Amino acid sequence: MAARRLIRELAAFSADPNPALALLEPTSSSNLFQWRAVLRGPAAPSPYEGGLWEIIISIPESYPLSPPTMKFKTKIVHPNIHLETGEVCLDVLKSQWSPAWTISSACTAVQAMLSDPEPDSPLNVDAANLLRCGEFSGYNALIHYYIITYGLSEKEAC
């Protein structure tokens, strides 16, 4: 069931690409349960505009009844993303998951989270503290530094 659903989702993405993603594909032709996505930063006024990040997606055999796990492979600064492991804290990928979600739509939710951080439930305490203290210029500068230093180029994304 999960493999057929994933094949349909991949075909749907190929026919109608998601503008939030520069790339969405299985990491190998022999394993449909490990995918790679390249996420685009949301448009201005988001400080993430212009950034590209690789996300590794692990899909359980029980998909779509159970959510995928998404981790940023590319370093990114965000209160709800662990700086070292890339783990994402997003309710859609945990308690709010529904089989109505797809891998592509879940990636869109991650992109939306970039513009709407939840500093009160952080995985990155330093980024959360900058927001809680109102240090928006420092927060934005740190994001830009990480985009320039670690972000993918368009050539690397594909």
Give the pLDDT band (50/70/90) at residue 157: confident
Domain topology for 2-157: Ubiquitin Conjugating Enzyme (3.10.110)
Angle between helices 125-132 and 136-150 (to 10 degrees): 150
Task: Please identify which residue in the block is written with the tokens 């026919």.
Answer: 15
C-alpha span between 156 and 158 (Å, rounded): 6
The whole-number average pLDDT for the span 114-125 is 95
Whether the model pTM is above 0.75: yes
- pLDDT tens-digit readout, 52-79: 999 999 999 999 999 999 999 999 999 9
In this prediction, residues 30-48 reach a mean pLDDT of: 96
Query: Which residue of the set 89, 107, 133, 158 is catalytic?
Result: 89
Angle at 109 between CA 77 and CA 73, to 5 degrees: 40
**Would you tell me how many other CB atoms lie within 10 Å of the CB of residue 13?**
19
133 is catalytic: no
Q: What is the mean pLDDT of the chain?
A: 96
CA distance 138 to 134: 9
b/e map 134-146, b = 16+ CB within 10 Å = eeeeebbebbbeb
Domain-wise residue ranges, the chain: 2-157
For residues 36-61, average pLDDT: 96
pLDDT score of 35: 98
At residue 142 the predicted structure's pLDDT band, cuts being 50, 70 and 90, is very high
Q: What integer pLDDT is reported at residue 128 of this predicted model?
A: 97
**What pLDDT is stored for residue 69 in this prediction?**
98
